Amino acid sequence: MRGIAEKLAPPSLLVTRGAGSRREVAITFDDGPDPLLPEYLDVLDRFGARATFFLLGGACAKRRDGLLELVRRGHEPASHGYTHRRFPSLAAPALAYELDRTAALLPVPRTPRPLVRPPQGALSFAALARCARLGYTTVMWSLDSDDCRTEDPKVVMARTAPERVAPGEIILFHEGQRWTLEALPEILTGLTSAGYALVTVGELLAGGA
């Protein structure tokens, strides 16, 4: 169902990658803010990288300082729902409640429409349509680091090596994982050495406009 939705939905409602017209990639992190967030931010700062963080409303309520810090450092906050429940399992009022509760905690987005990523990448036509009616652009990814299926930083590095990356890529990572944090410096070194600018999803989409 997700694959069909990705093929048929207009890019204003569903995004899986940028246009690829510039040598840019978007680094994205799901499931925060997490206690490891400051260490993630420090690594990104070392490389002048900006990233998009798809945040859980429940975690934002617990770690308000983390949300404010990632915004202060120039990163883009976006919605990942409030409780990490799969969107296709939610009726329209429940999904609206999840998104509204999270939006109330996030800064006003700079993109034309607020961005949302469904937990676990679970998507259906009904869930996509509901997000669209609520004003959201749904953001998936074009390259999965596999960091939720391994605890080996070398596997994460190999999945996101420069030879596997193309301009316009949206790369999926997760917060709260020590192996992801260990892999990140090598990944960012490789991408910057290959000439990629590391930008937010909003910047990636604006650059391809």
Q: What is the DSSP string of 146-206?
A: -TTS---HHHHHHHT-GGG--TT-EEEEESS-HHHHHHHHHHHHHHHHTT-EEE-HHHHHH
* Helix/strand/coil for 71: helix
Domain count, the chain: 1
The pLDDT confidence band at residue 139, using thresholds 50, 70 and 90, is very high
CATH number for 47: 3.20.20.370
Tell me the per-residue pLDDT of 32-58, one tens digit each, with 9 for 90 and over: 999 999 999 999 999 999 999 999 999
Q: Is 57 exposed, middle or buried (0-12, 13-18, 19+ CB in 10 A)?
A: buried
The pLDDT confidence band at residue 207, using thresholds 50, 70 and 90, is confident
What pLDDT score was predicted for residue 7?
57
Percent share of the chain, pLDDT over 90: 92
What pLDDT score was predicted for residue 5?
55
Quote the domain boundaries for residue 14. 2-207
**Containing H/E element for 107?**
none
pLDDT of 87 > 70? The answer is: yes
Look up residue 193 and give its two tokens. Answer: 């050495």
Look up residue 139 and give its two tokens. Answer: 């953001």
CA 83 to chain centre: 16
Cα separation, 124 vs 170, in Å, equals: 20
Q: What is the pTM of this model?
A: 0.95
Percent share of the chain, pLDDT over 70: 93
Q: Is 156 exposed, middle or buried (0-12, 13-18, 19+ CB in 10 A)?
A: buried
What pLDDT score was predicted for residue 203?
97
Q: Is 177 exposed, middle or buried (0-12, 13-18, 19+ CB in 10 A)?
A: buried
What pLDDT score was predicted for residue 168?
97
pLDDT of 114 > 90? The answer is: yes
* Helix/strand/coil for 128: helix
